Amino acid sequence: MAEPRRAQGEPTVAVAGARILVVESRFYDDISDALLAGATRALEAAQVSFDRISVPGSLEIPGAIAIALDAAERRGEPYDGAVALGCVIRGDTIHFEIVSLESARALIDLSVARALPLGNGIVTVNTEAQAWARARPEEGDKGGDAARAALAMVQLKRTLAAARVR
C-alpha cells in the first residue's frame, strides 16, 4: 500500500487564531476517540480554537455542520473551517455504500457551496482492523490528516483573500 503524503514545513500564512468546528460521529465510540485524539493534537499544534459536536452517525455530520455554521454566523462568531470525523465499516448490505458515498457527497457539496475549508476524516473500511489502523494517531492518523487538510484550506483561503488581483 502506498504511504500517504503529509504536508511538510511551516505554513506561509498563519492559521493561528482560526476557529474550527469538529463534528464527530459516535457510532463506533472507541474509533471515534482515536480519530478525535489525532485531530485534537493537530489543531492544538496549529494553535487554533475548536468546538466539538457529536452526532449519532456519519450521515448526520454534514447536516450538523450546516446547522452549526448558521448558528455561529448568527452569533457573530463564524467558523473558519470544519473537520468531519467518523467511521463506516462494510457490512452485509448496501448500507455501507449509501453512508460512505452520501456523507462524502454532502460534505463536498457543503464545502463548495459555502467555500468552507473542510477536512474529511470519515474513514470507510472493510474491517474493524482497517479502521483502527487508520484511526490511531500513531498509525494512520486520519483524524490528524483531516484537521491538517482543513487548516491547509484555511491557509489557502486566507492567502487568496490577501492576494492582490492583477
Question: Residue 30 is part of a domain; what is its CATH number?
Answer: 3.40.50.960
| Domain membership flag for residue 1 | no
Catalytic (active-site) positions: 95
8 within domain boundaries: no
Q: How much is the pLDDT for 7?
A: 53
Residue 121 lies in a domain: yes
Instruction: Check pLDDT > 80 for residue 94.
Output: yes
Q: What integer is the mean pLDDT of 111-138?
A: 97
14 located within any domain: no
DSSP string for residues in 42-110: HHHHTT-EEEEEEESSGGGHHHHHHHHHHHHHHTT---SEEEEEEEEE--SSTHHHHHHHHHHHHHHHH
- Overall number of domains in the chain: 1
The verdict on residue 3 lying in a domain is no
By residue range, what is the domain housing residue 153? 19-158
pLDDT, mean of residues 75-91: 97
The answer to whether position 2 is within a domain reads no
The pLDDT of residue 14: 74
Please, are residues 110 and 65 in contact by the beta-carbon 8 Å criterion? yes
pTM of structure: 0.91
Is 61 a domain residue? yes
Assess if residue 6 is contained within a domain.
Answer: no
